[in-house]
């Protein structure tokens, strides 16, 4: 008989642990109320899937997630992953910033063991709450040997998405998470896990990026500036630099389209040693800048990373170097 896997659950809060006054309420609830023990107890028969252990890191709405908590979380995940009696790790998290935490862990935790993040769109008190099934399927994936070497995964609503591609695309629907362009890494139907993509271990080297956070107490400050008609003519760039930003991400309207009124200032910023990454607000596609342009203005293309993930990669890159060419290679 197959050995029952050991899965460690780290709870951080979110709607999945949220409580509302009415069973019909899906907004206006309080996130981060149930404990990890209550979450485990809310899923009937979960102990049949795996031997479970749990810890509570924090119990917050993920809009209030902080980089200092990320550093603690990454260390706890790494410690759990090093244990011989842990086969996989599940992290419960609010959905608002779940994709950012997933990507941060992807870049900072070195392990082959499955790390799965999950959340819920309906609070635990709601009729047809989605949390218990999401926890069930996350434990199922974390316990499954086929999930090894696939990096950090997000399991929600029967789908498995990779940390680098996943993003929250809907503020109400149960299918709130998608990987635009690439689609999900896998789907779960009852006891079956169907992988639709290769494992990360088999794919490009960019997926193997790793940054040690051992000696870090904080991350370098990187600010995102959003592009729109009539947008920033330098006010926010100036403010960011005054506030000590070590890097900037510009969420352009399209593929690298920096408005003329901002281009000079961003070029000067880059030349002064504060790298500027150009991402897009489009929600899909791969940002590519021409070599000629990059040589003139020093901008770094975000590639497939959305602005919030480009920010994380730039922050971690800045812990090693602020050489623009070196950083571009990491993107």
Distances (CA, A) of 246 to 136, 160, 185, 322: 41, 34, 34, 9
Size of the site for ligand ASP (CB under 6 A): 11
Residue with Cβ nearer ligand ASP (14 or 307): 14
Q: Which of 15, 125, 197, 269 is catalytic?
A: 15
The burial of 322, by beta-carbon neighbours within 10 Å (0-12 exposed, 13-18 middle, 19 or more buried), is given as middle
Residue with Cβ nearer ligand ASP (119 or 303): 119
Nearby residues of 50 by Cβ (< 8 Å), 6 or more positions away: 4, 5, 6, 7, 87, 88, 139, 142, 143
Residue with Cβ nearer ligand ASP (66 or 290): 66
Residue 15: active-site member: yes
Q: Is 320 in the site for ligand ASP (CB under 6 A)?
A: no
**Position among 63, 83, 238, 325 found at the interface with ligand ASP (CB under 6 A):** 63
User: Taking the CA atoms of the chain, what radius of gyration do you get in angstroms?
Assistant: 20
**Position among 7, 8, 9, 15 found at the interface with ligand ASP (CB under 6 A):** 15
Nearby residues of 33 by Cβ (< 8 Å), 6 or more positions away: 17, 18, 19, 59, 124
Query: DSSP assignment, residue 274?
Result: -
Q: x/- binding map, residues 154-173, to ligand ASP, per CB under 6 A? A: --------------------
CB of 216 to ligand ASP, least distance (A): 24
Contacting ligand ASP within 80-109 (CB under 6 A): 94-96
Distances (CA, A) of 299 to 94, 198, 242, 330: 33, 31, 20, 13
Residue with Cβ nearer ligand ASP (32 or 247): 32
Binding residues (CB under 6 A) for ligand ASP: these are 14-15, 31, 61-63, 94-96, 119, 121
Which residues are annotated as catalytic? Answer: 15
């Amino acid at each position: 008989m197959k050995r029952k896997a050991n899965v460690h659950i780290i709870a951080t809060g979110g709607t999945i642990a949220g409580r509302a006054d009415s069973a019909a309420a899906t907004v206006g609830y309080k996130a981060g109320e149930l404990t990890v023990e209550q979450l485990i107890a809310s899923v009937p028969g979960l102990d049949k899937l795996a031997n479970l252990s749990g810890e509570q890191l924090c119990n917050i709405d993920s809009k209030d997630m902080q980089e200092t908590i990320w550093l603690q979380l990454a260390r706890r995940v790494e410690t759990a992953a090093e244990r011989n009696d842990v086969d996989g790790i599940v992290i419960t998290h609010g959905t608002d910033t779940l994709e950012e935490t997933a990507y941060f862990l992807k870049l900072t935790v070195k392990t082959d063991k499955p790390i799965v993040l999950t959340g819920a769109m309906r609070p635990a008190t709601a009729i047809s709450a989605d949390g218990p099934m999401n926890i069930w399927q996350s434990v199922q994936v974390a316990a499954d040997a086929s999930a090894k070497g696939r990096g950090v995964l997000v399991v929600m609503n029967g789908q498995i998405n990779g940390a680098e591609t996943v993003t929250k695309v809907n503020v109400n629907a149960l299918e709130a998470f998608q990987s635009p362009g690439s689609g999900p890494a896998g789907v779960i139907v009852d006891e079956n896990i169907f992988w639709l993509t290769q494992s990360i271990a088999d794919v490009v080297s960019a997926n193997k990026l790793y940054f040690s956070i051992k000696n870090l107490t904080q991350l370098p400050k990187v600010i995102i500036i959003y592009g729109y008609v009539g947008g920033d003519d330098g006010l926010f760039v100036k403010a960011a630099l005054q506030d000590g930003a070590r890097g900037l991400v510009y969420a352009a309207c399209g593929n690298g389209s920096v408005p003329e009124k901002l281009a000079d200032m961003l070029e000067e910023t880059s030349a002064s040693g504060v790298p500027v990454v150009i991402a897009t607000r489009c929600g899909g596609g791969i940002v590519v800048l021409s070599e000629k342009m990059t040589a003139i203005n020093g901008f770094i293309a975000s590639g497939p990373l959305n602005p919030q993930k480009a920010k994380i990669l730039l922050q971690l890159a800045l812990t090693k170097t602020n050489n623009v060419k070196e950083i571009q290679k990491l993107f």
